Amino acid sequence: MRSKIPGGKLKQRGMNAFNEPSKFVTAELKIKRSIFIANLKPCHDEFQARNFLNEIISLHHDANHNCRAYIFDSGREYFSDDGEPSGTAGRPILNAIKQSKILNVMIIVTRYFGGVKLGVRGLIDAYSEAAKTALNICEPVKKILTKNFKLSFEYNSMGLIKKIFEAHNAQNLKLEYLQRVNLNADVPADEFENILKQLDELNARGIIKYES
């Protein structure tokens, strides 16, 4: 699960769950002789986004424009008109993504010009429709926003601490047995403070001993 939320916009909005696309999809529209091809792919960072863009540019090297936008669960967002009039391509794609409430997604809309100018309003509508068509078929799946939790503790505290993390739906719980037990787990973002509070209370009462 995704866990990169410290300081991000999602944390500020109080969101704990979101949808992201489950697969790559392509949608093609023909509008007044121009062909618009929307390619949508799950992307979690700028490295993946750049690789995806390079793939599409290579595939459609003869196209007039490869306009795009993305939004990540970190709150990072970006759009490009790629030569189309300012505000007519990248922004409509980004707005379509925002309206869908899908994150960790990049959409690249490739345009092959058909000889008929669409005008500003026509371009906005075309790029928006292409993006929405792809979003409607990407089969989004629900993801839980998580934060990483690390701590070490005495062996006699292990049973109680494990029970606390399991009760709060911790994921990817890993234990390393050294002089002390080292725990590493991803916990739902809205459970992080509750776990910390419980651990602090038990530590203050001498029931467990741990270090974060």
Q: What is the pLDDT of residues 14-61, one digit of tens each?
A: 457 889 999 999 999 999 999 999 999 999 999 999 999 999 999 999
Chain Cα centroid distance, residue 141:
11
Gyration radius of the chain over CA positions: 23
Residue 28: partners with Cβ closer than 8 Å, 6 or more residues away: 35, 36, 37, 38
Nearest to 108 by CA among 55, 186, 179: 55
Amino acid at residue number 141: V
Residue-level length of the chain:
212
Give the whole-angstrom CA distance, residue 35 versus residue 51.
23
Q: What is the pLDDT of residue 12?
A: 35
Q: What is the pLDDT at residue 17?
A: 81
Can you list the residues of the chain whose pLDDT is less than 50?
A: 1-14
pLDDT of amino acid 212 = 62
pTM: 0.72
- Position 210 scores a pLDDT of 65
Q: Measured between alpha carbons, how far is residue 113 from residues 2, 17, 37, 38, 80 in Å? A: 39, 40, 12, 15, 18
- Provide the pLDDT for residue 147: 86
pLDDT of residue 143: 87
